[in-house]
Amino acid sequence: MKQASRSVVPPLAIIGALFFIFGFITWLNGTLIPFLKLACELSYSQALLVTFAFYIAYVFLAVPSSLILQKTGFKNGMALGLVVMAAGALLFVPAAQARSFGLFLLGLFVQGAGLALLQTASNPYATILGPLESAAQRISIMGICSKIAGALSPVIIGAVVLQGATALETELAAAGSAGAKAALLQQLADRVIGPYVTMAVALVGLAALIRLSSLPEIDPRPENLEEAGEEAVRSVFQFPHLLLGVLAIFCCVGVEVIAGDTITQYGRAQGISLDVARNFTSLTLVAMLVGYVIGVVTIPRYVDQQTALSICALVGVGCTVGIVCTHGYVSVLLVALLGLANSLMWPAIFPLSIQRLGAFTERGSALLITGIGGGAILPYVYGWLGEGIGLQKAYLLLIPCYLYILFFGVKGHAYQAKSRVKYAVPAV
């Protein structure tokens, strides 16, 4: 392909900056859940609508995003996604002023929509800019950028919006009237305005830089298709390994979000104060960061993508059993260690799922992005189970998810399309 002769470092550096933005915004949800639970006086399952609103946008917007990218190209599509995310951030201003949980959810949905467009463009970009067998390594590098940002964002934003949270809870409990309580809650809600206005300005600025950059366009389609028979593949749904990959992404993102976004409230349930627990999401992200570094070093030099995926799934099962069987800080630490188990799942599942798609790579990528809806569904199921059987036992939900990911790593990724047409992998 034409981009083969170009250095991949500059475009990957730009994509890395985008992944930093992904991580910073995505992992704010772990801070927003306890913040909005307090500011809007929500139950835990209601607070988990934060993740639902954010991730469900991927289900509705991923496929339309692929159509948008066909019209705009990758670079303009990325810039557009950043502007959409900025609009979502600005919705937090009226949401905070009205202390309206519905408006907060709308802002999160709009941000998720912008991220769906960005993810649909950037993941295949990182996959195709280099040999397929090292795609997991490149995506791991992108993941490092994302997880560094994800580890920083709860600490930075949490220090602003949840500062003195334990003392505030005491003040709210002692408030002598409904008016006094409402005033305290309004002061809390207003804390989010400054950070999100700043975020909107930064996103618009980055969109302008992307638009003016030298980021090259790529063609994810192969230059030729080598036919080995008469029957042609005419639909993206004729690739069984892709469809199995969508479900694997669903499980992968679901367990990843549960590990990162429920750990704060789980720490509270284990008797740990909010002033301490508000930083627990960062522990999960640090564990994921360690896993990504391991992936960069070991894949594909020492282990292949599917083996790494299988190992991670088994580690996830082991950590989940440990969470349920222990208590206090040990149990919370095991939730954080799920980040290590989850770290190499997306970098392995995505390239394994889009290999051999040929001309269907763009549509296959969009279909995989819809699997991010697992981040909407599974955490909400966890919250519902948690209110019934307890937050600790609710983590058992993760075990069937990890077992399915293990199946995909061992066997599911290798299933072939029934068509006799052999699609060449893009030569880069």
How far is Cα 337 from Cα 121, in angstroms, rounded to an integer?
30
The whole-number pLDDT of residue 136 equals: 64
- All domains of the chain in start order, with CATH: 2-414 (1.20.1250.20)
Which helix (H) or strand (E) segment is 165 a member of? helix 165-174
CA geometry: angle 291, 292, 297, nearest 5 deg: 100
27, 26, 33: which is closest to 49 by C-alpha?
A: 33
50, 57, 60, 48: which is closest to 95 by C-alpha?
A: 50
Q: Take residue 20 and report the two structure tokens written for it.
A: 């930093």
Q: Residue 43 — φ and ψ, nearest 5°?
A: -80, 170
The whole-number pLDDT of residue 151 equals: 87
More confident residue, 308 or 359: 308
Q: Take residue 389 and report the two structure tokens written for it.
A: 């059987």
Mean pLDDT is lowest, of 104-108, 174-178, 343-347, 369-373, for: 174-178
Burial class (CB in 10 A: 0-12, 13-18, 19+), 354: buried
Is pLDDT of 110 > 90? Answer: yes
The whole-number pLDDT of residue 418 equals: 53
Which amino acid makes up residue 280?
A: F
Please state the separation of Cα 421 from the chain's center in Å. Answer: 34
How far is Cα 83 from Cα 80, in angstroms, rounded to an integer?
5
pLDDT digits (tens, 9 = 90+) for 49-101: 999 999 999 888 877 887 888 888 888 888 999 999 999 999 999 999 999 99
The whole-number pLDDT of residue 2 equals: 45
Contacts of 262 (CB under 8 A, 6+ apart): 33, 48, 335, 379, 382, 383, 386, 391
The whole-number pLDDT of residue 427 equals: 30
Through-space distance between the first and last CA atoms of the chain, rounded to whole angstroms: 6
User: Residue 415 — pLDDT band, cuts 50, 70, 90?
Assistant: confident
User: Residue 200 — pLDDT band, cuts 50, 70, 90?
Assistant: very high
Q: What is the residue-wise DSSP string for 55-124?
A: HHHHHHHHHHHHHHHHHHHHHHHHHHHHHHHHHHHHTHHHHHHHT-HHHHHHHHHHHHHHHHHHHHHHHH
How far is Cα 256 from Cα 284, in angstroms, rounded to an integer?
9
pTM of this prediction? 0.83
C-alpha dist (Å) from residue 150 to 23, 37, 61, 119, 360: 5, 21, 23, 16, 32
The whole-number pLDDT of residue 219 equals: 62
The whole-number pLDDT of residue 96 equals: 96
User: Residue 168 — pLDDT band, cuts 50, 70, 90?
Assistant: confident
309, 317, 269, 265: which is closest to 291 by C-alpha?
A: 309
- Judge whether 410 and 291 are in contact, CB under 8 Å: no
Contacts of 382 (CB under 8 A, 6+ apart): 48, 258, 262, 394, 395, 397
- Give me the helices (H) in 191-279, please: 193-212, 240-261, 263-269, 274-277
CA geometry: angle 77, 78, 84, nearest 5 deg: 90
The whole-number pLDDT of residue 4 equals: 45
How far is Cα 364 from Cα 377, in angstroms, rounded to an integer?
21
Is pLDDT of 173 > 70? Answer: yes
How far is Cα 42 from Cα 25, in angstroms, rounded to an integer?
22
The whole-number pLDDT of residue 130 equals: 67
Please state the separation of Cα 148 from the chain's center in Å. Answer: 13
149, 148, 127: which is closest to 290 by C-alpha?
A: 148
The whole-number pLDDT of residue 132 equals: 66
Dihedral, 331, 334, 339, 340 alpha carbons, nearest 10: 180
Q: Residue 83 — φ and ψ, nearest 5°?
A: -65, -40
